[in-house]
Amino acid sequence: MKIEKNVPIPPKHVDSGIAIARKMEIGDSVFVGPEQYSASYSWTKNLKPKRFSRRAEKDGWRIWRVE
């Protein structure tokens, strides 16, 4: 391990999934691939009072805002 000086801190990663979910209206849907499923599960559970429903599709899942 080596100490390095003057290495800039990169900007924080913004979770674009939760930003999209916040903009969704009832009846809107998004498709997520396998690599995004875990993150999408988290944001759909934590965005209260909005409710979401998900169904498996070929190569991923589709998530609808239902309430």
* pLDDT by 10-residue block (mean), the chain, 67 residues: 89 71 91 86 82 91 92
Q: Which of 34, 30, 35 is nearest to 19 (CA)?
A: 30
Q: In this structure, what token pair is assigned to residue 43? A: 């944001």
Q: Is the pTM of this model over 0.75?
A: no
| pLDDT number for residue 13 | 62
